[in-house]
Structure 1
Amino acid sequence: MRTKTILVLIALFLSLASCKYLHIDGYSGSTLIWESGANNYFNTESPSLLDLVSEIIITGETDGEQKVSLENMPWHSVTLREVVMDGDSAKFLGTFRYDGVALCDILSSVKIDKESKEDFYPPVDLYVEVWNDAGEFATFSWGEIIYSNDVYNIIIAKAATRVVPGKTGEKWEIPQSGKIVVGTDLFAERGISNPTKIVVKSLKGNFKVDRDPEKFYSEKLEIIDGNNIVADFSSIPVNLPKLDRRTIYYGHGMGYKGVRTFSGVRIDGLLRSLLPSTKEDLRTGLICIEAVDGYRASFSLSELINRVDGAEPLLMYGESGEKGRESFSVYADSDMFADRSVKGVNKITLY
């Protein structure tokens, strides 16, 4: 028995020693320091820990205010070529691998008490504001956090590693504080520092729910900025190039819907010239895509017009004989689930 205990202790010592002396990264399992001939270019130097609170407050449309500890949650990595808007141009801050806690993990155990649940139960109209103590906030739709094809692409970073170019050896300034990191954003305007609170909200408006409308389509699509109609369309402008997206269509509730091909135009091609896109707009902007039957889904402005991955939703017009797609409809290309692919669309509103 004593011999077996000694052998277990020796094995434990060797395991711990290997993490120290072989430089094994406990989160990704990769070598922390890149050496000549290695193939992991995201670990060119040791990570730097960032200052961050140990817990975050969740409030809003929830079952009471809650505090969620960030200490024992799994870490995920997001690599970012970090650029922010600088007037009419872009300012490059560096390329980093950020490691931290995913927003989807933080929100996964939070019980939602949605204000609109009596007449509209699906959570697709939810969104969150992530706040810091400086009074800044960034807006995220519930769908881009929970329904995404990659739910671990939005994190609160707890560590940062520079991805150093091999020839120039250029090293950029590492941030000191924890921050929001969004792997899909072109301009990192939602990357606020020191997040401390998440507020859960739902879309507000004069929605009229009719689950079996006589006419499940609209002859006109209105683009609205606040209370002002900035444009309306009876069809999709012919100057916008049409794309085909083939997908495995799958609903959160109804499951497999078949292999489908959706044809339409990137929604940013229509919206970019009609809606504002300042630094603040990209950080806080919220969009409601609404249908004639009262169905609606929230989208952050950034996930529609500020993407770096080319996965903007498609705006479609009369692409099939399916009910609700005789006129305007949307296919949410970046989502795992079909629930934000809205049919019978008649309004797109910037809040």
Structure 2
Amino acid sequence: MVMMFTGLLLAQTNDFYDDAPLNELKMSKVIIDGEVANPGEVDFSALQRREVIVKETLLDGESGKFTGAYLYEGYSLYDILNAAILKKKNEAEFPPIIDLFVEVENASGQKVVLSWGELYYPIHRHEILIAAAVRRIVPSKTKKLWPLPVDSKLVVASDLYTERNISNPVKITVRSSKIAFKIDRNIPDMYAPELQFKAGDKLLSTIKDGKLTGNMVSYGAVFYGRGTGIHGTTPFTGVMFKDYTVDLYPVSKQNLMTGMILVSAPDGYRAVFTYSEIFNRNDQAEVLIVPMYGVKTQGAFLLYPAADYFSDRSIRCLNEVRFLQADEL
């Protein structure tokens, strides 16, 4: 009797996510291309397998259509692109890597985008995979068995609506923004008194110094730069970017898949975000527009991406936001 009880204990664990069988997925050859010096085929045999858990939900009207809960096992894009030697087209003008993004294409020609910041800057790393295996996360009471995919899949675990989880990815293209800016890193006491929102080059809206309105939220922060290290530990208080701009750049399937946002300051410093990493998060680590009124070299607005480990994409003197599609950027 004791032996039987011991056997049951050994078979059962506290892990909710390993109760169903692991099913291997059909993998395709994946090519890395674009602004890299060493393009070529991904060698999956050299990479570690990692796991993410996902509640797959597609955009459906004003809400979502749940399709299943899964654990995916596969290869993170963090690892896949780790040895890529970057060869930015605009490196002479703008060496920082925060205007890079990647386009992932599947065998059917569908494309989705991911910012370089999503891959290499988040506090929680390795949450974007090319899945090679899957297991259901089965409800203990209903025993509902969700449909299983057959082919490999791009999986973005931080997305609320999983429109970027496209099947059978075959190509990863690294790109930088082709939009040119005047670079002047020697502007004395730089201060931007207004923030403009544009669709491409078309002006949609402007916030003047002191006129930011909306529900203010506060995030405790340890503000740490990749180059200069610690900047401070003062909380940031501001308005959620997605709440302030959702009427300017509405949620749609296309925007979730290929929407991009380019943010910049008067000195030409800029960063790229995807639509989904701002408007489509499931972790509530939101991007804030922070009022910095009257603060020399900071204001009147600062962008604070709470999910980033480093502060590099936190644009001070934020004066322009452009809403784009990937092919425009």
Is the shorter-chain TM-score for this pair beyond 0.5, marking a shared fold?
yes
For residues 301 and 137 of structure 1, the distance between their equivalents in structure 2, rounded to whole angstroms, comes to: 14
Contact 1:49 1:159 in 2 (8 A): yes
Return the offset for 1:236.
7.1
- Report the counterpart of residue 38 of structure 1 in structure 2: 13
Where does residue 3 of structure 2 map in the other structure? none
Tell me the residue number matched to 1:222: 196
Query: More deviation in 170-179 or 254-263?
Result: 254-263
CA gap 1:236/1:335 in 2 versus in 1, 3 angstroms: farther
TM-score by length of structure 1 reads: 0.86
Query: Partners of 1:336 and 1:248 in 2: how far apart?
Result: 9
Q: Rate the CA distance shift 1:237–1:177 in 2: closer, same or farther, 3 A.
A: farther
Equivalent-residue separation in structure 1 for 2:74 and 2:251 (angstroms):
28
Aligned residues: 317
CA offsets 1:156-209 (integer angstroms, 9 cap, x no match): 111111111111111110111111111111100111111111111111223011
| Partner residue in 2 for 1:182 | 156
Match of 1:169, SS state, is: coil
Q: Counterpart in 1 of 2:327?
A: none
Rg (Cα) greater in structure: 1
Quick one: distance in 1 between partners of 2:10 and 2:68? 21
Q: Secondary structure at 1:105's aligned position in 2?
A: helix
Structure 1 unaligned spans of 5+ = 1-32
Aligned to 1:158: 132
Residue 341 in structure 1 maps to residue 314 in structure 2 = yes
Shift of 1:319: 6.1
* Partner Cα distance (2:141, 2:308) in 1: 38
**Aligned pairs for 1:117-128 within 5 A:** 117-128=91-102
Partner residue of 1:276 out of 250, 270, 281: 250
Q: Following superposition of structure 1 onto structure 2, how do residues 32-111 of structure 1 map, counting pairs within 5 Å?
A: 38-53=13-28, 55-111=29-85
Report the more deviating stretch, 218-227 or 289-298.
218-227
Shift of 1:107: 0.6
Secondary structure of 1:71 counterpart: helix
Q: 2:241 is matched with which residue?
A: 267
Q: Please report the RMSD computed on the Cα atoms of aligned residues, expressed in angstroms.
A: 1.9
Cα distance in 2 between the residues matched to 1:40 and 1:320 = 51
Which residue does 1:332 correspond to in 2? Answer: 305
Equivalent residue number for residue 141 of structure 1: 115
Kept after mapping to 2: 8 A contact 1:34/1:44: no
Runs of 4+ in 1 over 4 A off after TM superposition: 33-37, 235-239
State the distance in 2 between where 1:270 and 1:348 align: 12
Alignment of 1:305-324 (within 5 A): 305-318=279-292, 321=295, 323-324=296-297
Question: Counterpart in 1 of 2:4?
Answer: none
Change (3 A) 1:350 1:209: same
Amino acid at match of 2:207: F
Task: Check 1:312–1:236 CA distance in 2 against 1; reply closer, same or farther (3 A cut).
Answer: farther
**How far does residue 324 in structure 1 lie from its aligned partner after superposition?**
3.2
| Alpha-carbon contact 1:34-1:45 (below 8 Å) kept | no
1:317 Cα offset (Å): 1.1
TM-score (norm 2): 0.91
1:115-139 Cα offsets, whole Å, 9 max, x none, are 1111211101101101112111110
Q: CA deviation at 1:246?
A: 1.4
SS in 2 for 1:115: coil
1:259 Cα deviation after fit: 2.1
Gaps of 5+ in 2: 1-7, 325-329
Q: Percent identity?
A: 34
Q: Indicate the residue corresponding to 2:5 in structure 1.
A: none
Structure 1 residue 256 displacement after superposition: 2.5
Distance 2:203 2:149 in 1: 41
After superposition, the C-alpha distances for 1:4-62 in whole angstroms (9 at most, x for unaligned) are xxxxxxxxxxxxxxxxxxxxxxxxxxxxx999863111112111111112x42111111
Pair 1:202 & 2:180 matched? no
2:232 to 258, 264, 272: 258
